[in-house]
Structure 1
Amino acid sequence: MSAGNKQKRSESSPIGRPRGFDRDAALLAAMRTFWKQGYEGTSIQDLVTAMGVNKPSLYSTFGCKEEVFREAVELYDRLEGRATTQSLAEAATAREAVETMLRANARAYAVSKGPRGCMIVLSSLLGAPENEGVRAFLAKNRLDGEMALRARLARGVAEGDLGPSADLDSLASFYTTVLEGLSIQARDGASEQKLNMVINVAMLAWPAD
């Protein structure tokens, strides 16, 4: 092989990866595919088609399907988790934080275009034994969200807007379950109005003192 040919080969894209390959754009495409079809419903062929790469390139760049999914979930948290993060951080009281979190997510879940509901909740219904690692990963992700909510409730107690007798574990678990239920309702086609009706009832469970 001539020196010129070696130079050309060294400047070309890795085998199977198109010139100008954008890893971030490919991961975003993977995230949307998992979000729409779920983990078990998404094949490697679905991913390579959506991401614009072939199988060797996908494996060399991202690793196995599970690794692509884990990165996709992290991206989803950064992009779509802002409604929850901002609600918990910026609301003046614990009650406002919870209600704002629920309504902001209801609005996001009920979009007219693109996948509806929460990717993390909708991807969690896994049956194959070989996917136990993914199931555990998603369960931890949801538990982390519940713990973040509990921490905000504890801040409410410390700041005096939530009574000291409030059962923080039960409240965090309850409103996390409501949030996850809104996701299922949205995927089934529920309107934002219907989701907000559910939230109206859920907020009646807020402690009186």
Structure 2
Amino acid sequence: MPRIKLFDENEVLTKAMNLFWKKGYAATSIQDLVSHLGINRASIYATYGDKEQLFKKSFQYYTKKNIEALTNFLESRPNIKEGFKELFNNSIAESIKDKDKKGCFVVNTTTELIPNNNGFTVAIENNKHLFEQIFYQYLKKGKENGQLTTTQDLKALAALLFILYNGLKVVSKIQSNEYELKRAVEVALLLIH
């Protein structure tokens, strides 16, 4: 008779993701995971594989949720300039409120594991591509409906906004002056016209 899992796999992935996000991949031990997740070592291995597999699944779970949230957020903001401004300002506010100063899980993973662990390069590149594509489509929509008159290359602008978004997550780990961060965003968003 197969054993019945007494835990919610997505809830465990969320908990694992938060632990990896806070401590990093290398600093998180299997024992840390056992203690934090509240499930035994055998269940972790049986359900998720080893630590690296659990990390990869947590990372995929995070990026999937993040992309869904970004898409839903921008789709519900018909004003392109205001949508980007609100997105960046929300990111700043969330980062400043985070007492653990975690930053962005993707950025943290990139700086910790790349270039020494090529197993994550594809997932990180995919995340970058999806983010930039969402930003590009949003800018294109603004251009098509007459909100934007810019002659800038929209793909290059989308890439720049992705860099800014990730940069804010890094800088907010050490810079907690909300006014200064928002002012920097205002200057960058002058490119969207």
Name the TM-score, length of structure 2 as normaliser.
Answer: 0.84
1:151 positional shift: 0.9
Quote the Cα distance in structure 2 between the aligned partners of 1:21 and 1:87: 31
C-alpha distance in 2 between matches for 1:81 and 1:191: 27
Residue type matched to 2:122 in 1? A
Q: 1:27 touches 1:71 (CA, 8 Å); kept in 2?
A: yes
| 2:67 and 2:130 in contact (8 A); partners too | no
Supply the AA of the counterpart residue of 2:141.
R
Q: Please say if residues 114 and 120 of structure 2, whose CA atoms lie closer than 8 Å, have aligned partners that are also in contact.
A: no
Equivalent residues in 2 for 1:65-76, closer than 5 Å: 65-76=51-62
Q: 2:97 aligns with which of 93, 106, 111?
A: 111
**In structure 1, what is the Cα distance between the partners aligned to 2:125 and 2:65?**
19
The question of whether the paired residues in 1 share the 8 Å contact of 2:150 and 2:192 is answered with no
CA change 1:50–1:106 in 2 (3 A) is same
Distance 2:70 2:90 in 1: 8
Cα 1:104/1:68, change in 2 over 3 Å: same
- The verdict on how the C-alpha distance between 1:153 and 1:128 changes in structure 2, with shifts beyond 3 A counting, is closer
Size of the alignment, in residue pairs?
Answer: 192
RMSD: 2.5
Distance 2:69 2:177 in 1: 18
Asked if structure 1 preserves the Cα contact closer than 8 Å seen for 2:143 and 2:149, the reply is: yes
Which residue of 1 is the match for residue 182 of structure 2? 196
Letter in structure 2 aligned against 1:186: S
TM-score (normalised: structure 1) = 0.78
- SS at the partner of 1:162? coil
Structure 1 residue aligned with 2:18: 32
Runs of 4+ in 1 over 6 A off after TM superposition: none
| CA positional deviation for 1:123 | 1.5
Equivalent pair of 2:102/2:173 in contact (CA under 8 Å) = yes
SS in structure 2 of the partner of residue 27 of structure 1: helix
Shift of 1:53: 2.4
User: Which stretches in structure 1 are left out of the alignment for 5+ residues?
Assistant: 1-9, 15-19
The 2-side partners of 1:175 and 1:71 are apart by 27
- The sequence identity of aligned pairs, in percent, is 29
Does 2:46 correspond to 1:60? yes
Q: CA deviation at 1:164?
A: 6.3
Matched with 2:164 is: 178
Q: Which has the higher contact order (CA 8 A, sep 6+)?
A: 2
Q: Secondary structure at the match of 1:187?
A: coil
How far apart, in 1, do the equivalents of 2:175 and 2:29 lie? 25
Q: Per the alignment, do residues 40 and 163 of structure 1 end up closer, same or farther by CA in structure 2, a change over 3 Å counting?
A: farther
Cα offset, 1:146, TM superposition: 0.9
